[in-house]
Chain A
């Protein structure tokens, strides 16, 4: 896509992604062959109207949804040729997800939600050995996010902003190089959304995360160094803008 991209610096690469669904008798194609590279430490804003295929592309890139055609390369691995277990492990260790609706498990407390990726990554015995380490790590993050006194609370007892901060802590627990955020402020009021964005951008810069930020909010996109516009399942524009700091 962009000529300056070197092979070495690409962490997530999509080639020829097509995705179609069967609706009744006919096939409905959502993505019409998308090529996209995400570089290390890059903050990429993915914009487009509703129904442009942003979330579908995100799910394909996040190894959640198998493309009808094309391949996703994550740190050089053709992800959709791997086994279920290998792909799940890649998703577990390389990608952190932040969803619009937070998606916390309602039965688990904030801190338990935050250490869930470690519980998935580790066997029962290994987790028992490392539980203290991960609990400390998660509580440090939650503390830093201003949730120090709410770690034992269930998601139902937390506000939307608080839930989203727990979700961010969860996404970053295993220090994944990639963070995928699907309209992370979409369900929050304006002020909370602003603060959430600040937090996310701060973390991105601090940890040099490769971040894919899906939004239809122009203001949000203006923070991104690179913005990709999607329309009808195709990339319409790919522009680099100077980072406003």
Chain B
């Protein structure tokens, strides 16, 4: 048969012709210990030994169905991480919103009772206008307002029995906040809180532009009482409606001596409620006209805090806090806190530091715990590839015999891990992003199917599962999946590269 075979010598490519030419001259051997001194090695093309790695890795990936388990593992891990971190980010965002509640961007709370200078006994002047002038002069400040804050006890005539129920924590220590409505509206979101759909229908403020006007359905028996605005949940807790009477008890402090004075007691009419979306605030805050509260406190003080709203909070917060602190200290309005941070000027985040940190911490913990799923996926890839290296011993030997380098074999098996990471992580990212966006319908479907509520809307203040897909976070997760898979794939790949081709070829 062979004798009939006549091969038309296949055409040589340029490169081969070059090689063929190099072979024709004789190789001079230098005596009995010949060294290849005269003759150059056949040129090794750049990027040598490339094509088979991608080709074979994809072929192996397709041929061995077990690889799909590894890919599915990576997909599930990436999807779970993307989903959970999106939900945690959404949760953090919502929590920031509700934790912020009625707080403004910056809060300046001068310690009015502490002398600026111990020897001379100079005090911070009890005049908010001095503060406002400096604060409003800063071009980065959008608005500022004055608040007077104090604590008191709320009682409702005829509802004293609530006090008897020890378990209901009936005695309500409330946060009394005296405001100038117009300035307050420009600085905080009180206006929105007044207009927001209340949780309990106990009556909203009739005229937001004049919130402390007597409520329209209020029929005073004698001299009309001054108005207060209660947190929506506080009002509901006491069963108070708009136009009802409440009493506030408090004690005042002598600004000079710091002594606690006589308790004072005053009746007010409820002009309406507000809903800030921060449970705690809605349960414990009462708004007054600032003059009314000052009156209750015996005219001892006009203000306790200056609230500041910035034009761009995220950009300017650090700089403005530093600048205002310096300017106010220079003007003798704040204590020099070079040696000890008195916290007289803070951002709202400083105010809610602990809670915000707790949620951020939770997010990080969730990320770390779910990263273990990634590690498990990595182990799967490791196991599958190890199996494949054992199974493909002979192939590795053949490839070596045909001229593959150990490094080429290493890359071949690493590439299998790379494809698994690529396909798994891509599918996982898509699945994770999709489920983060469609989390509500998914949750409803699961709740309906399994008959119990997965997300309990009563526990949280939001009626949907919050989720925010952060591209940077998704990128980090995908990158992590790649790193994890490649590290786990490297172990069997190294084993494959170290195989002795002779051992691999020896047995059939």
Contact = CB atoms under 8 A, between A and B. Distances in A.
Interface of A: 7-10, 13, 15, 59, 62, 64-65, 73, 75-78, 82, 84-86, 88-94, 97, 99, 101, 103-108, 116-128, 130, 133, 136-137, 140-141, 144-146, 170, 174-175, 177, 195, 198-203, 206-207
Contact of B401 (A77, A91, A94, A200): A91
Given A76-B29, A99-B505, A140-B10, A175 B5 contact: no
B48 interface: yes
A132 B51 CA distance: 14
Given A73-B34, A195-B1, A124 B407 contact: no
A206 B7 contact: yes
B501 A120 contact: no
Contact of A85 (B19, B48, B51, B56): B48
Interface in B26-71: 26-29, 32-36, 38-39, 41-42, 44-56, 59-60, 63
A102 B56 CA distance: 19
A194 to B, nearest CB: 9
Contacts of A137: 10-11
B402 A117 contact: yes
A145 B51 contact: no
B405 interface: yes
B439 to A, nearest CB: 42
Given A97-B401, A177-B23, A141 B36 contact: no
Contacts of A104: 398
B54 A124 contact: yes
Given A75-B23, A120-B408, A175 B16 contact: yes
Contacts of A86: 41, 44
B502 A127 contact: no
B8 A89 contact: no
Contacts of A145: 5
B8 to A, nearest CB: 7
Contacts of A9: 26
A62 B403 CA distance: 11
B427 interface: no
Given A121-B48, A123-B47, A195-B2, A89 B403 contact: yes
A123 B405 CA distance: 13
> Which 9 pairs, one residue from A and one from B, show the smallest C-beta to C-beta distance?
A92-B403, A76-B27, A123-B47, A8-B26, A127-B51, A202-B2, A123-B50, A199-B2, A198-B2
Nearest to B19: A93
A141 B10 contact: yes
Contact of B3 (A97, A124, A202): A202
A89 B63 CA distance: 28
Contact of A202 (B5, B9, B36, B400): B5
Contact of B26 (A7, A78, A105, A201): A7
A177 to B, nearest CB: 6
A116 B400 CA distance: 12
A117 B3 CA distance: 26
Given A89-B42, A103-B505, A123-B51, A203 B403 contact: no
Contacts of B508: 101
Contact of B41 (A77, A126, A198, A207): A77
Given A73-B36, A88-B403, A175 B1 contact: no
Contacts of A128: 51
Q: Which residue of A77, A128, A137 has the most chain B CB atoms within 10 A of its CB atom? A: A77
Given A8-B27, A121-B49, A84 B505 contact: no
B39 A122 contact: no
B50 A127 contact: yes
A93 B33 CA distance: 24
B394 interface: yes
A125 B47 contact: yes
B406 interface: yes
A63 B33 CA distance: 18
B399 interface: yes
Contacts of A195: 1-2
B13 interface: yes
Contacts of A65: 502
B45 A103 contact: no
A183 B279 CA distance: 86
Contact of B44 (A89, A94, A133, A200): A89
